[in-house]
Structure 1
């Protein structure tokens, strides 16, 4: 691993451990690095279609609720985020035909997110701690990312950049998140 990558990882971990645990809102953004799950809701329709086409991706989940951060996990998060961001070319679904696909040649945010989620779980991270979340971008576009729940922060893996950030350090307005136990169930944020 190049020295620069090691230095970035060390700085990122040190930064994660320095956040306050307050849940107050500041300027419309979370001040704490954790998402607060609220009432149940139904999964996005295109995700339900993915479950029908690929039932393995929607099985009941097991493992810990939070992934313990260590050097192996940090390397996996960085590697999966970068490799999937590089492997999938940006593209859009046809209007009225939203599809969430695993490892396509080109795709939109949902395709990046479900591919990252699968690779992290296949890589041995606890499935209950790897979740999909829907949000809106500053310009109001719907956006899907992967959330990795850790003891120190809920981390965001986003196709818009290779940097892994806590939920309170991204420019997203959170809407809903996949349930820890059952991917077919989601919760409002």
Structure 2
């Protein structure tokens, strides 16, 4: 990872998040999630292998959006750039001979593998899983793609293997389809009109 690239990603996130006051309640900066929808098949299989990561979280009560401060902003940007630099983009077909496999990558993986690894890294830093939500989108080409949504008091932000910068969800080129529930990691919610999407983007 180049120092210039990492610095640019961090500076971009800092300027974006420190530009204005935190929102008092969800508004345009937060995704309009709706009803329960189908769980991506790859995530379903992941949950069968990693049941502890997909258990409901309701017993803890309501988790408020993550409150960002300067140190946390720097840490989030660093995780995004570090994992994007360390993991080689490779498709599930190349790695496992299958169309869809969600797993933690060691040195190579596709979009959902990047998102899973970032989710785990940020959770290990103390961010609640309710604010780290796997999300399925469609690229402009129509191809399915997976990213990680960071739910904060300043809106929803996206960590993406196709972008060194952490940006507001409204500043991405994607059509958002569905994401994990904040209270139940094995449950997924509509964002707009949902459909069954195979995800696996490794390049723009």
| TM-score using structure 2 length | 0.78
Shift of 1:96: 4.5
Once residues 52 and 144 of structure 1 are traced to their aligned partners in structure 2, the CA distance between those partners, rounded to angstroms, is 19
User: For this pair of structures, how many residues does the alignment match?
Assistant: 179
Shift of 1:18: 9.1
Instruction: Name structure 1 gaps, 5 residues minimum.
Output: 24-31
Shift of 1:7: 4.8
Once residues 111 and 7 of structure 1 are traced to their aligned partners in structure 2, the CA distance between those partners, rounded to angstroms, is 25
Question: Residue deviations 1:19-53, cap 9 Å, x none?
Answer: 9x997xxxxxxxx3210011101211110111111
Instruction: Name structure 2 gaps, 5 residues minimum.
Output: 192-204
Question: Residue deviations 1:45-100, cap 9 Å, x none?
Answer: 11011111122321333572311010222122111111111111011111643101
Counterpart for residue 18 of structure 2: 14
Question: Residue deviations 1:76-132, cap 9 Å, x none?
Answer: 211111111111101111164310111332111010011111111111012111101
Counterpart for residue 114 of structure 2: 112
Once residues 44 and 26 of structure 2 are traced to their aligned partners in structure 1, the CA distance between those partners, rounded to angstroms, is 34
CA contact 1:16–1:153 (8 Å) conserved in 2? no
Counterpart for residue 27 of structure 1: none
Taking structure 1 as reference, are residues 90 and 120 closer, same or farther at Cα in structure 2, changes over 3 Å only? same
Q: Say if 2:167 is the partner of 1:165.
A: yes
Once residues 18 and 64 of structure 1 are traced to their aligned partners in structure 2, the CA distance between those partners, rounded to angstroms, is 17
CA contact 1:57–1:118 (8 Å) conserved in 2? no
Counterpart for residue 79 of structure 1: 78
CA RMSD between the two structures: 2.6
**Residue of 35, 42, 55 corresponding to 1:59:** 55
CA contact 2:150–2:156 (8 Å) conserved in 1? yes
Once residues 20 and 142 of structure 2 are traced to their aligned partners in structure 1, the CA distance between those partners, rounded to angstroms, is 28
Secondary structure, in 3 states, of the residue corresponding to 1:131? strand
Taking structure 1 as reference, are residues 18 and 151 closer, same or farther at Cα in structure 2, changes over 3 Å only? closer
CA contact 2:13–2:167 (8 Å) conserved in 1? no
Taking structure 1 as reference, are residues 51 and 17 closer, same or farther at Cα in structure 2, changes over 3 Å only? same
Once residues 131 and 144 of structure 1 are traced to their aligned partners in structure 2, the CA distance between those partners, rounded to angstroms, is 10
Shift of 1:17: 4.7
Counterpart for residue 32 of structure 2: 36
